[in-house]
Amino acid sequence: MDVERYDRTRPAYPPDLIDHLIAAAPGRETLDVGIGTGIEARQFQAAGCHVLGVEPDPRMAEFARMSGIDVEVARFETWAPAGRRFDLLVSGQAWHWVDPVAGAAKAAEVLRSGGIWSAFWHVPEPPEEVTDALADAYRRHVPDAPIDLGNTPKKPADPYGPLLDTAADGLREASGFGEPERSRHDWERIHTRDEWLDQLPTFGSLTWVEPVLQQKILAEVGAAIDGMGGRFTTRYATVALTAVRD
């Protein structure tokens, strides 16, 4: 994983989601689980929160520290909070890597009464010309890939629905939380050809592809974007699951 590329190309989170979570929390002490390179952590930090990150990847942890954020390298399930308590626990693009029950139990342990737990994910929806070009090139150059991009729904009716269900069930089983609530934040972003091709290699479908084949795939996607005038608009849904520590 190219950590600098990941941080440079992955989008931040809707300001209304950030503001809502901060307003709902009883204070500003924030724990970011799976902080990655610190994308959402910097948003919470800029809004006046004191953020501590937990991250299993040392490379990402070191990058996040460059923003002045304290980060401890560990898997959340085995991380030692050492008696520390938090008002807000967030996890952007990461909670699916956490055991849903053990993670929820640890979250209940470290959150104060009335504290907020929230996990959220981006669901991008580029134009069909772009997704079709990627699927066609992927099929042609890596036919034995474990991921079939051609069968990925382009317009999911319930983005990340099963994943949200799993997280919600984990919170219920661990107990200590009120009923989890879902929210969805829709927004758009214009991507140039170079911006989109810079971001694509950070996705799991391409991170494992050998560089020569990866470049061939990117070239075909780039040609499709050139045919669209060199830029396009991607619709995003940021879906969130939130629960209150009772």
pLDDT at 50: 98
Contact in structure between 207 and 29 (CB atoms under 8 Å)? no
pLDDT at 157: 53
Q: Residue 150: is its pLDDT beyond 70?
A: no
Q: What is the CATH number of domain 3-244?
A: 3.40.50.150
Query: Per the confidence metrics, is the pTM higher than 0.85?
Result: yes
In angstroms, the CA 144 to CA 164 distance is: 30
Residue pLDDT, tens place only, 32-42: 999 999 999 99
Residue pLDDT, tens place only, 76-87: 999 999 999 999
Pull the structure tokens for residue 108: 């209940």
pLDDT at 161: 86
Domain ranges of the chain: 3-244
Pull the structure tokens for residue 67: 């923003």
Residue pLDDT, tens place only, 125-148: 999 999 999 999 999 999 887 766
The residue-averaged pLDDT of 57-78 equals: 97
pLDDT at 153: 40
Report the range of poorest mean pLDDT among 58-67, 144-153, 207-216: 144-153
Tell me the pLDDT band of 9, cut-offs 50, 70 and 90. very high
In angstroms, the CA 246 to CA 242 distance is: 13
**Is 214 buried (19+), middle (13-18) or exposed (0-12) by CB count in 10 A?**
middle
Residue pLDDT, tens place only, 14-27: 999 999 999 999 99
In angstroms, the CA 117 to CA 85 distance is: 13
Residue pLDDT, tens place only, 83-103: 999 999 999 999 999 999 999
Which residues are CB-neighbours of 176 under 8 A, at least 6 positions away? 104, 105, 108, 245, 246
Contact in structure between 47 and 22 (CB atoms under 8 Å)? yes
Report the range of poorest mean pLDDT among 9-13, 152-156, 166-170: 152-156
pLDDT at 154: 47
Q: Residue 152: is its pLDDT beyond 80?
A: no
- The DSSP-derived string for 183-225 is EEEEEEEEEEHHHHHHHGGGSHHHHTS-HHHHHHHHHHHHHHH
Q: What is the mean pLDDT of the chain?
A: 94
pLDDT at 205: 85
Which residues are CB-neighbours of 202 under 8 A, at least 6 positions away? 1, 2, 5, 6, 9, 10
pLDDT at 59: 97
